[in-house]
Structure 1
């Protein structure tokens, strides 16, 4: 009955939403005020797509009963840490030792702290940290820490826990049975926090996500890894690492071949290219490049392909040098810059891209072009020697390793499971600054994955899986829509300009049923879960979402550093950080002032009564939503006097 009601509400929401938004585009746009009318209808269209993706997620909501855990499985429990208090990490590790199913507990200390090592050894807990091989190499934060541990342990399965996530003794008994299905690679359980009061001032609990959303994604085989409280199959991760290794090498080789061809073609524009000897040598290199591309498609060894092309280019360079060195000096500095740090060592994938960009755009002399091509080919590292660990099972393409890893596993045909039972309890941020750091990192990582491996274009995923991943990524674009939703009522109340042609009966007959049914869908799908705080923060954190999108885009497109901020597990100083919510306070001030001015304009006949009433109500709603920041700034952390939140029920 519940599934039928959810599906009925999904159908009604989509029909009413499409009816409303289509009418807005076709009949209600106030083109004389296009500068606010078009952004508003775009924001509404964004929201409709968001609701449709939510409806699709709810369509196949799955509730599971765990099968019994078979005996004899080998399990490593990994507790990841960097700088968390030793006492906290040890408490989690000791709880992990008490897990009933036979296993081995490991502390993965990326901070390489002597007190942490001593505490682990004292209690018979395994201790792992990075070796000297990682010095001066990309570390890849938590993903690198886990990848390092994968190469030093042997368990068939690994339970991953953050330093503050204290597991229940039955966690493996309740999850290992799902791996009876040989295609299951991941079992994810909820994250629930013990230090959160019932009113959840920082929006730390996520009853909608760790519940209907993950259960809905599970129905489409798209429940994804959330970084902690998850059990993974080693075989699946190692396959993922090997496939990723091959793909990365192939991408570098393809990029270099493309750059070689572009550089040679540009070199033909040089006056020297009219010389028969030069033209012949350029022809030979171009033919060798084409032949290398054909061999790549045929599956020939990458090292053989690049070796053969390098020898051809080297011979051509030597002949050109013997014939004419007059243009060489002008190109030497640019050739030197093609190598990493100005040298000729192995190039990372990003350095290959930048080097090829220079190859493809600079006007080279024939000799300079061939020598630069030779430099790039020599620097391609088929062995990925720039990495301390060439095979990286957990994805390293973003500041969060979880979503990209599970998406790649699904693309390889593996299955995932969401088990809706709290089997570990953790610690949520207890101050606004820490919460914002955490949310920003989550959003940045998700947007990085969207820009680097868009699920809509990901080979191997079925279309429902693509849409399930895209739905999560799409949600972080809501910050831009929120700005429009805040601006539109201010514009009317201050200037009397409506983004619609009129607030006619057509508007209300379309808009109100859509909004009512939409809210009913959330309520029924959530089965009474308290989702209001989450809805508040989805709007109130609009500056964080916008920052995440812009910084992630600059990182992916322009190589701007993003960094990795570990979420502190203890309270960070004073909570009275009003500057952290300055954009929200400015927005609230503008909304309140607009309401006062709008009512004043109504009193003197400058605004229409209906338009003023609707927009003042809109302002009041926005203020109620944004008011969550006052409670967040003033929150002094969990004292134990408040009523704690209750765990997600099984």
Structure 2
């Protein structure tokens, strides 16, 4: 893990630094060779190898290969400029950011019927962020409106009130309130007695080194200094100071009344309107939940933040302005950090390892100002969310006045897809906002640990992504750059791979059992054209994923192929207009065997394995007319068997049984002997 994610900044000059990822030039070199070889291979396939006697198989295979080539082309574009960012921590910026200028932060913990202990762990970790306590609030956004969650928040608040930090904060507020009221009283006592002030000051030993004879004289002196500097009358300056004190007193009293650092929000959910799941939950908190933080951290209920999260990501939102001599806000809308999981088994049977995406892929998108927001472990600027949300709301309202019913959901999180995160980022980019991917592990969560939950999660991702393509096509959305369009389109395009994968899996089966080949050439000729492309493709991919364990790369490739029924189901369900709902991924393992969920993969696995064995038997009997072709199809089938085995194994996988604990009686006897 330490070789994949940065854990601490290295020494460098300045507050921020970005550079090309290692091996980028080597990757570009092999990528160009790979693309040229791909064109050469496709030219040979189209003009010299099509089996016109079996076009029903040859054409689908050729279409699948063309699809794969363009998929590879988009992949290369996405990795053409991967950047590694580094930043100084918030408390190490040079020059330093004054504590008074630290922005207010709201942490949104989104939950919906998750186990209480998971929500509690996430909430308590958010409250321990290394940040001024008067500028940080944590909101539990309970879409399940659970009494138990509400009681949890109240219990946490009771504990917080007794903590030393909260008591110290309260004492500071009370002292400030007392001082402000005293000073206001003194100013009011001066209102009717301004003429003798100068005479009083002339008799008082005031000066740079002298101590004021009394607090009253000190206040008068400060008023005179302020009035002379601002060229205002003493009376006007007095009124201004009084107004400032009144406002300060009101703010302090409000702070004393609102000392709850952990708050509970459960939105109303009328039956006669759409609720938009997680997006609606966050949008309600933004617009109607009495939240006002300048920045928003969004967390799934099972993702636990590290204490230094804000110290490491907030600096990206500020730029030091030499003209004004202070930090000013820039156009960064959000900073996304990686997702990682602390409950993955050693061999990751469900393919949750995401170091390829939260690594080269996100770094490549970041280099094109197209880093994706992925819903959790991210911080967003409220100004960006609300400005984009208001624009979207006004456009929809002009088209349909009934949209006014959703006025409380005006926040910018997209509501026209069940994958609100990617669509939200796309609209932020389209409105000129920038994004940052910070490659440092700053939170850990829970991954689904059974196949049923895993497939449900992957299906939701695929369906939501294709929904965005049909409803909000990035190729036509105004405001996006060419490279941003291609980055969003590449993600959507990838989910159509299920159809190409099905062709790749069926083609060798047709040859094993029907003797029909989609390629009308000798096996040696096919190998001569295919192997250079395949090997160069493997080398290029390994260079792009440099530093990621080979086991994880292989598992990612296995699941990219083995999930073909899920991808096909997602495409068909969206295109046919089926009603789709946001389904929360279960956070606890559901016991059982899930073979019934992988019937298509199991059937193809068994047929392919049988075809290989049958071909081997016929070879030993001398019954193969063209052993080269059977050999190539057997190798092809063996590869298919290897990638499908991953999901079949996951269907029957069970967590290791913990060793039995020794009984108390046996343990006590052992201690007695010792």
Structure 2 SS opposite 1:222: coil
Cα shift readout 1:241-277 (whole Å, capped 9, x = no counterpart): 111112223444xxxxxxxxxxxxxxxxxxxxxxxxx
Q: Does 1:471 align with 2:493?
A: no
Decide which of 563, 569, 581 is 1:563's aligned counterpart: 581
Higher deviation after alignment, 563-572 or 22-31: 22-31
Take 1:504 and 1:84, find their aligned partners in 2: how far apart are those partners? Answer: 55
Decide which of 535, 543, 548 is 1:524's aligned counterpart: 543
Structure 1 SS opposite 2:298: strand
TM-score, with structure 1 as normaliser: 0.75
Q: How does 1:466-505 map to 2 (within 5 A)?
A: 466-503=485-522, 505=524
Cα shift readout 1:559-613 (whole Å, capped 9, x = no counterpart): x311221101111132x12101111101111212222333455545354110000
Equivalent in the alignment of 2:67: 46
Equivalent in the alignment of 2:393: 245
2:269–2:275: 8 Å Cα contact kept in structure 1?
A: no
Q: Root-mean-square deviation (CA), in Å? A: 1.8
Decide which of 142, 151, 176 is 2:278's aligned counterpart: 142
Decide which of 23, 29, 32 is 2:44's aligned counterpart: 23
2:414–2:420: 8 Å Cα contact kept in structure 1?
A: yes
Instruction: Give the direction of change, closer, same or farther, for the CA distance of 1:593–1:505 in structure 2 (3 Å limit).
Output: closer
Pairwise CA distance, 1:631? 2.4
Take 2:345 and 2:526, find their aligned partners in 1: how far apart are those partners? Answer: 41
Alignment: residue pair count: 507
Take 1:19 and 1:194, find their aligned partners in 2: how far apart are those partners? Answer: 45
1:128–1:149: 8 Å Cα contact kept in structure 2?
A: no
Cα shift readout 1:400-439 (whole Å, capped 9, x = no counterpart): 2101000011111111111111100101111110111111
Decide which of 94, 102, 106 is 2:139's aligned counterpart: 106
Equivalent in the alignment of 1:387: 406
Higher deviation after alignment, 178-187 or 480-489: 178-187
Equivalent in the alignment of 1:284: none
Take 1:467 and 1:579, find their aligned partners in 2: how far apart are those partners? Answer: 37
Equivalent in the alignment of 1:419: 438
Equivalent in the alignment of 1:4: 25
Structure 2 SS opposite 1:106: strand
Structure 2 SS opposite 1:63: strand
Pairwise CA distance, 1:504? 5.5
1:189–1:418: 8 Å Cα contact kept in structure 2?
A: yes
Take 2:68 and 2:603, find their aligned partners in 1: how far apart are those partners? Answer: 24
2:303–2:446: 8 Å Cα contact kept in structure 1?
A: yes
TM-score, with structure 2 as normaliser: 0.73
Q: Does 1:164 align with 2:183?
A: no
Equivalent in the alignment of 1:542: 564
Take 1:394 and 1:638, find their aligned partners in 2: how far apart are those partners? Answer: 40
Instruction: Give the direction of change, closer, same or farther, for the CA distance of 1:390–1:105 in structure 2 (3 Å limit).
Output: closer
Name the larger-Rg structure: 2
Take 1:59 and 1:12, find their aligned partners in 2: how far apart are those partners? Answer: 14
Equivalent in the alignment of 1:593: 610
Q: Does 1:618 align with 2:636?
A: yes
Take 2:65 and 2:624, find their aligned partners in 1: how far apart are those partners? Answer: 27
Decide which of 121, 124, 133 is 1:94's aligned counterpart: 124
Q: Does 1:201 align with 2:349?
A: yes
Pairwise CA distance, 1:528? 3.0
Q: Which runs of 5+ in 1 are unaligned?
A: 253-379, 642-650
Pairwise CA distance, 1:505? 5.0
Decide which of 79, 87, 95 is 1:66's aligned counterpart: 87
Pairwise CA distance, 1:463? 0.8
Structure 2 SS opposite 1:108: strand
Take 1:237 and 1:433, find their aligned partners in 2: how far apart are those partners? Answer: 34
Pairwise CA distance, 1:486? 0.6
